[in-house]
């Protein structure tokens, strides 16, 4: 509360220096042009989280940047901010509707541009001032308020943010600051990998999801540890469809995980004997044509033909416990939306065992005829030592144990809900919110 009070006092002082913003306007726009609503800070959950995540004392330039980004008025000494609609929590209610604007502009009609995040000095200072760990809601408000696209003109995709014109650092100025050479306007050369075979710079990464926009779920700050998933909770989970003999119908018998616009990871046992003909993306409840819930409906399902199946070269049907992985290439790109988007792959060492880890699916199994749930189910799990799994001890060698994970349920939850071909997913907070990674 002390940080909140300091920030509010700072906003009131700043307000006295910037007259002309005293009347409240219920509908407002964030710097990205996305619509919001003007409410007191105490009613905007996202803003409260952002303030709580800032280090104190708050630098004057960061305070000014936040004011220009969100301040939309004051009344009787109470400061109001432009809050993203999903940042109101249970207070959403009957808020004013306003179409989004396709332009960058800060509060008070302050001119802005969409630039690479590294070229926006106040944004860099704001991110640098955040304490660790970064709260999930902070990533959400940063995406809503600032992210306006991506830049890939130099071979590396980086996010772009809405930046006040006065805070934008031109590339020529950056070159002068770096080496003092005004005439040097050439792009920096490609970085040389520090380790031989470093996967961070592998050419195949261009086929994977964008590292800044992958793994985004519509569900954040989840309270439940298991049960029926919400629509858009795992937009990267897909179904593998197999042609039925003597029929034009398709039977869905395995699952998979979308890792790029045309690539799906699944298990080798799902594709070694019978090849899937189609991949269905955007599914939630197999019993309904259109999925709706909690005032939201998903987009239409997408069925995309499988163009190529790539199985791990060391996989053997007689020993499916090792190298049981395969890659599917789709015949065309997916149409990405809130309900269809790829998960991230982690290219860095991850030793944090306290992160949220989930398994999810429709209980799809090869050669299994028992009744399955029609709606996507999930369960949070713990990763434990391989020696704690009797099934692993009995069937694989000691050397292979190091390549396998043993998972344990929380509170005796059912682990059979995952699909053949499905994977473990781990949640990792980032500057841009919660992001999920395939393990």
Q: Check: CB of residue 5 under 8 Å from CB of residue 78.
A: no
Query: Which two tokens mark 125?
Result: 């200072």
User: What's the pLDDT tens digit per position in 14-52?
Assistant: 343 333 334 445 888 999 999 999 988 888 888 888 888
User: What's the pLDDT tens digit per position in 248-302?
Assistant: 889 888 899 999 999 999 999 899 888 999 999 998 888 887 888 777 788 889 9
What is the C-alpha to C-alpha distance for residues 395 and 378, in angstroms, rounded to an integer? 27
314 three-state secondary structure = coil
pLDDT, residue 184, reads 34
| Number of residues that make up the chain | 439
pLDDT, residue 347, reads 76
pLDDT, residue 6, reads 34
Alpha carbon 215 to its chain centroid, in Å, reads 4
169 three-state secondary structure = coil
What is the C-alpha to C-alpha distance for residues 108 and 236, in angstroms, rounded to an integer? 39
**CA distance readout (Å), 273 to 253, 277, 311, 317, 366:** 13, 13, 11, 9, 11
Q: How many CA atoms lie within 13 A of 123 on its CB side?
A: 31
pLDDT in tens, the chain (439 residues): 333 333 333 343 334 333 333 444 588 899 999 999 998 888 888 888 888 888 877 777 788 889 899 998 877 778 889 998 888 876 555 565 678 888 999 988 888 989 888 788 888 888 888 887 778 888 888 988 999 888 765 556 678 899 987 766 544 333 333 443 333 333 334 344 444 345 666 777 788 888 777 888 888 767 777 778 888 889 999 999 999 888 888 988 889 999 999 999 999 989 988 899 999 999 888 888 788 877 778 888 999 999 999 998 888 877 777 788 899 999 999 998 888 999 988 877 665 566 788 888 887 766 665 556 677 888 888 777 666 665 555 455 555 555 667 776 666 555 555 667 788 888 887 666 678 888 7
Spatial CB neighbours of 186, under 8 Å, sequence gap ≥ 6: none
Q: What's the pTM?
A: 0.58
What is the C-alpha to C-alpha distance for residues 135 and 138, in angstroms, rounded to an integer? 5
Give the largest CA-CA distance in the chain.
77
pLDDT, residue 431, reads 61
Spatial CB neighbours of 28, under 8 Å, sequence gap ≥ 6: 35, 36, 37, 38, 72, 82, 98, 107
For residue 377, whether the previous peptide bond is cis, meaning omega lies within 30 degrees of 0, is no
430 three-state secondary structure = strand
What is the C-alpha to C-alpha distance for residues 60 and 66, in angstroms, rounded to an integer? 10
Spatial CB neighbours of 101, under 8 Å, sequence gap ≥ 6: 29, 33
Q: Check: CB of residue 251 under 8 Å from CB of residue 402.
A: no
pLDDT, residue 386, reads 66
Q: Check: CB of residue 86 under 8 Å from CB of residue 141.
A: no
What is the C-alpha to C-alpha distance for residues 313 and 240, in angstroms, rounded to an integer? 21
Handedness of CA 392, 363, 350, 207 (dihedral sign): positive
């Amino acid at each position: 509360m002390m940080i909140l009070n300091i920030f509010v006092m700072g906003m009131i002082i700043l307000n006295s220096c910037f007259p002309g913003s005293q009347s409240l306007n219920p509908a407002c726009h964030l710097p990205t042009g996305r619509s919001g609503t003007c409410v007191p800070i105490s009613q905007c959950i996202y803003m409260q989280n952002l303030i709580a995540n800032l280090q104190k004392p708050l630098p004057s330039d960061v305070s000014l940047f936040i004011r220009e980004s969100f301040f939309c008025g004051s009344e009787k000494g109470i400061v109001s901010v432009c809050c993203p609609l999903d940042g109101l929590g249970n207070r959403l209610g009957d808020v004013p509707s306003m179409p989004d604007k396709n332009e960058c502009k800060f509060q008070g009609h302050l001119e802005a541009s969409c630039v690479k995040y590294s070229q926006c000095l106040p944004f860099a200072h704001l991110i640098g001032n955040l304490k660790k760990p970064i709260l999930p809601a902070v990533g959400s408000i940063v995406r809503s308020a600032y992210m306006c696209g991506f830049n890939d003109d130099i071979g590396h995709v980086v996010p772009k943010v809405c930046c006040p014109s006065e805070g934008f650092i031109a590339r020529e100025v950056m070159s002068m600051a770096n080496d003092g050479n005004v005439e040097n306007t050439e792009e920096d050369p490609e970085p040389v990998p520090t380790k031989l075979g470093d996967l961070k710079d592998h050419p195949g990464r261009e086929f994977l999801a964008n590292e800044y926009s992958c793994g985004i779920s519509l569900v954040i700050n989840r309270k439940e540890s298991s049960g029926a998933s919400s629509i858009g909770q795992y937009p990267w989970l897909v179904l593998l469809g197999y042609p039925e003999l003597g029929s034009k119908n398709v039977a869905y018998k395995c699952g998979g995980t979308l890792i790029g616009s045309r690539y799906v990871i699944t298990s080798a046992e799902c594709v070694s004997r019978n090849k899937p003909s189609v991949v269905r993306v955007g599914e939630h409840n197999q019993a309904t044509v259109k999925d709706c819930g909690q005032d939201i409906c998903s987009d239409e399902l997408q069925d995309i033909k499988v163009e190529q199946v790539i199985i791990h070269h060391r996989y053997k049907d007689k020993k499916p416990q090792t190298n049981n992985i395969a890659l599917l290439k789709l015949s065309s790109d997916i149409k990405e939306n809130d309900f269809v988007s790829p998960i991230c792959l982690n290219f860095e060492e991850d030793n944090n065992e306290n992160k949220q880890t989930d398994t999810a699916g429709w209980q799809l199994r090869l050669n299994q005829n028992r009744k399955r749930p029609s709606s996507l189910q999930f369960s949070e799990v713990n990763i434990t030592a391989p020696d704690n799994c009797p099934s692993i001890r009995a069937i694989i060698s000691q050397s292979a144990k190091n390549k396998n994970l043993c998972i344990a349920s929380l509170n005796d939850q059912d682990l059979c809900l995952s699909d053949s071909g499905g994977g473990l997913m781990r949640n990792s907070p980032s500057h841009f919110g919660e992001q999920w990674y395939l393990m």
